[in-house]
Amino acid sequence: MNQTPYVMPPLGQALLAELHNKIIHFPIVLGLLGALLVLVAWRKPQYETIAFWVVWFAVLSTLAAYFSGMAQSTEFLHRPKRWIMETHMRFGIGLAFAECVWLLALLRRRTHGLAALMSFVVAALVLVTAFLGGLVAHGRGGGPPPAAAAPTAPAAQPADTDSVPPAP
């Protein structure tokens, strides 16, 4: 089968098309890196400043991902994946709020324990939200269950049914 080669669109068009799919990698990486750095800074205070700034950029990138995702979500409004997209969006909003609490907890030394706890919360929310986003972008669906895919013959009955005692 002879296929025509892919034609690359102009750079500006390629960068802006489906922007959410490109931006989303930043909050994933920065959120997980920030969680790691906050936990490391618990024992090694020299990492507190870099942890704070990584968390700050994670919050900003999450906001950018939210707005780009809202702009891109209209293509799913009348599709079967709408419910997954809406669940992904709700987790993304929860992630943004959790990151804001996380950032505020890093501002004062007495709330650094809360910041450490929020590192686990944010990491979990990042992973769940990213998983749901992956289903929206790449999920193909499982199709019908295996039993419904191909009808099978009924199960064979035992040859000697008289030896089975009746149910009480």
Range of the domain at 123: 18-139
On whether residue 134 sits in a domain, the answer given is yes
On whether residue 2 sits in a domain, the answer given is no
Per-residue pLDDT of the chain (168 residues; tens, 9 = 90+): 688 998 888 888 877 788 898 999 999 999 999 999 999 998 999 999 999 999 999 999 999 999 999 998 888 888 898 999 999 999 999 999 999 999 999 999 899 899 999 999 999 999 999 999 999 988 877 655 555 445 555 555 544 444 444 555
On whether residue 87 sits in a domain, the answer given is yes
Number of compact structural domains in the chain: 1
Q: What is the DSSP letter of 2?
A: -
From residue 103, give the alpha-carbon distance in Å to each of 37, 45, 131: 13, 16, 24
On whether residue 13 sits in a domain, the answer given is no
Per-residue tokens: 27: 């909050």
On whether residue 12 sits in a domain, the answer given is no
Q: What pLDDT, on the 0 to 100 scale, is given for residue 162?
A: 44
pTM, two decimal places: 0.76
On whether residue 9 sits in a domain, the answer given is no
Q: At what angle do helices 48-72 and 25-43 cross, to 10 degrees?
A: 160
CA 72, 120, 139, 23 torsion: positive or negative? positive
